[in-house]
Amino acid sequence: MTSTVTESVVSPTTGTTDGTAVDRPAAYDDEVLAELLVEEISIDGMCGVY
Amino acid sequence: MRVTDRLSRGLDAPICLTWELTYGCNLACVHCLSSSGRRDPRELTTEECATVIDDLAQMQVFYVNIGGGEPTLRPDFWELLDHAVDRKVGVKFSTNGSRITGAGAARLAATDYVDVQISIDGADAATNDAIRGPGSFDVATTAMRHLADAGFGAFKVSVVVTRDNVAQLDAFAAIADSYGAQLRLTRLRPSGRGADVWDRLHVTADQQRELYSWLLAHPGVLTGDSFFHLSALGEPLPGLNLCGAGRVVCLIDPVGDVYACPFVLHDEFKAGSVRDEGGFAAVWRTSSLFLSLREPESPGACASCGSYDACRGGCMAAKFFTGLPLDGPDPECVHGHGEAALLAASGSGRPAVGAGHTRSGPVPVSIGRRPA
Amino acid sequence: MTRYALHPQVGLRDEAFGALAYHYGNRRLTFLNDARLVAVVRTAADHDDVEGALAAAGVPDQQRPAYLKALQRLADAEVLTCE
């Protein structure tokens, strides 16, 4: 249920989408990119509504 | 770009919003954020309400959180509910339960895209009724019983956390469980009648820490992201963790005025009116208030604090109504910076707030339900 | 062959950053933070399998594993249905 806070996972240099981080394991990059692409929260997770 | 940065710059349409349908209410809760009680003669007509819903559907607003006052007091409430859900604008309405009869609960259970939120502020009648009035706990739990019996599913039990009920969090969770409902805890703001009771009812610093720990341990409990200021204590709480006012959410009041959020019903935070040319869409997209809220925030006095990224300076309503500057600490800043600021200001800056729609004279001693 | 389609209970709304997906049943809100991902989601049902949708959206080969993971996450979140 917690939103995926990508900034706690990713350092700025890996936050690119051009796949330049060649010396990292590919699976790590894929996971990181996948998290950048999709984030979830509850509709009740916004401040300023009832 | 982080989602939070993107969202703080605003969207072309709200994700969801709060819509107070009426200022009328059969209760007189001591902390009412909208100072409700008497209906306003200028309230939107049924046709005007339908137009607002049509606009929201057009903008693809996913959800509208309907409240008031007590929204079910409006005779057209059910018609408007259907108008919204028929257009795939989801509705969650917040109610004290006084009009949720067995038949009403069955009707709601059969309706798609609707959710119900029943308000209580104590885990027993004594604690609750001290805030919401004699008999209100029984009315609320009766409504919960009707919804559970009708097979509605997981409706919401919503609690405003106060100094007097923060010791009852486990009990609230048990109440919600017993009706198959989901618990929701929200923050008390010094808004509306809340300004009158803030000093004696807002949680203490120790209670805030306990609340934060409890919330982390109970991730299934909703908060409406209203405790994002507590994220400065450590791990962020679930939710967007930012002030959505004017950026992803806003408020429409019973007379059609648009405000940044339900906790700032004050001219300072009024963006326009749905009765203006261009309706709600024009207000959302072009009002100078909302455009300025979507500018990058200035940390101001919080710039030197390492927690600003986590708490974002807290709640502007809490700051405004305690007389604190908006670019500084929240009055309940977990590091105590707000308390220090309040002592320095010694209460001289609190904005004047009128009685709103509070009913004068005695409130009825007991609340019965009208026959269905 | 995996074939995805947008879940019938999901509303998809374009945004400058990509799209918002709201599931009216489970009340979850999902942020699709990439325009190409949104294109894949919108056209997924038109293709016999997901690889076709990825190609049509212009996703570079080396990013396909990541996009497939993202699509799986969307399926887990019930934003997409999967055959």
pLDDT tens digits for range B143-186: 999 999 999 999 999 999 999 999 999 999 999 999 999 999 99
Confidence class of residue B347 from pLDDT cuts 50, 70 and 90?
A: low
Task: Count the helix, strand and coil residues of chain B and give each as a percent rounded to the nearest 5.
Answer: 40, 15, 50
**In chain B, positions 103-162, which contact chain C (CB-CB < 8 Å)?**
112-113, 115
Mean pLDDT for the stretch of residues B361-365: 58
Question: Chains near B, with 3+ CB pairs < 8 A?
Answer: A, C
Measured between alpha carbons, how far is B118 from B239 in angstroms, rounded to an integer? 21
* B233 φ, ψ (degrees, to nearest 5): -80, -15
Yes or no: say if B31 and B264 are a contact pair by the CB < 8 Å rule.
Answer: no
pLDDT tens digits for range B57-85: 999 999 999 999 999 999 999 999 999 99
Q: Is the pLDDT of residue B364 over 60?
A: no
Predicted ipTM? 0.92
- Tell me the pTM: 0.91
Of B16-20, B126-130, C1-5, the poorest mean pLDDT is in: C1-5
User: Given the DSSP bridges, would you call strands B251-252 and A38-42 parallel, antiparallel or unpaired?
Assistant: unpaired
Instruction: Could you list the beta-strand ranges (E) of B174-250.
Output: 182-187
Yes or no: say if B31 and B317 are a contact pair by the CB < 8 Å rule.
Answer: no
Can you tell me whether residue B204 is helix, strand or coil? coil
Residue of chain A nearest B244, judged by CA positions: A47
Q: Is the pLDDT of residue A8 over 70?
A: no
pLDDT at B120: 98
Measured between alpha carbons, how far is C30 from A38 in angstroms, rounded to an integer? 7
B224/A44 Cβ within 8 A: yes
Contacts A30 to C, Cβ<8 Å: 65-66, 69
Of B252-266, B301-315, B325-339, B344-358, the poorest mean pLDDT is in: B344-358
User: Given the DSSP bridges, would you call strands A38-42 and B16-22 parallel, antiparallel or unpaired?
Assistant: unpaired
User: Higher-confidence residue: C56 or A35?
Assistant: C56
Yes or no: say if C79 and C30 are a contact pair by the CB < 8 Å rule.
Answer: yes
Residue C64: CB atoms within 10 Å:
15
Q: Is the pLDDT of residue B297 over 60?
A: yes
Yes or no: say if B279 and B55 are a contact pair by the CB < 8 Å rule.
Answer: yes
Average pLDDT across chain B, whole number: 94
Percent above pLDDT 90 for chain B? 89
